[in-house]
């Protein structure tokens, strides 16, 4: 998997091939797709629930930092997640 350049001004949206859903039985967020399901950790769920094609990555980082003020600096982790999610084709950019 090669590194993908992510820009803070980009506005991510979920790839329509995937559906984000809370899975009560798993007690976590999951990404559903025709061939299966991806169980997300709490951080990935917190990020993807905000991805609606409206806010830029910079705005999403600000939202997350406000919700989790005890986390020192989330920017690097969030950018890393978006690189991973884009490489797996979970998200697209407008």
Q: How much is the pLDDT for 3?
A: 54
| Residues 56 and 64: beta-carbon distance below 8 Å | no
Residue 43, burial from CB neighbour count under 10 angstroms (0-12, 13-18, 19+):
middle
Handedness of CA 93, 40, 22, 63 (dihedral sign): negative
What's the pLDDT score for residue 2? Answer: 46
> Would residue 50 count as lying in a domain?
yes
Query: Does the residue 1 lie in any domain?
Result: no
Please tell me the predicted confidence (pLDDT) of residue 61.
97
Q: Does the pTM exceed 0.85?
A: yes
pLDDT, one tens digit for every residue, the chain (94 residues)? 445 678 999 999 999 999 999 999 999 999 999 999 999 999 999 999 999 999 999 999 999 999 999 988 899 999 999 999 999 999 999 7
Domain membership of residue 41 (yes or no) is: yes
User: 66 in a domain, yes or no?
Assistant: yes
CATH number of the domain that residue 36 is part of: 1.10.10.1150
- Which residues span the domain enclosing 56? 12-93
Structurally, how many domains does the chain consist of? 1
């Amino acid at each position: 998997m090669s590194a993908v350049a992510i820009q803070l001004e980009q506005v991510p949206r979920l790839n329509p091939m995937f559906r984000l859903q809370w899975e009560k039985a798993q007690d976590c967020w999951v990404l559903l797709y025709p061939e299966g399901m991806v169980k997300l950790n709490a951080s990935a769920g917190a990020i993807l629930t905000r991805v609606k094609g409206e806010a830029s990555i910079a705005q999403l980082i600000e939202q997350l930092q406000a919700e989790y003020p005890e986390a020192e600096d989330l920017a690097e982790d969030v950018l890393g997640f978006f690189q991973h999610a884009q490489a797996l084709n979970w998200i697209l950019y407008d």
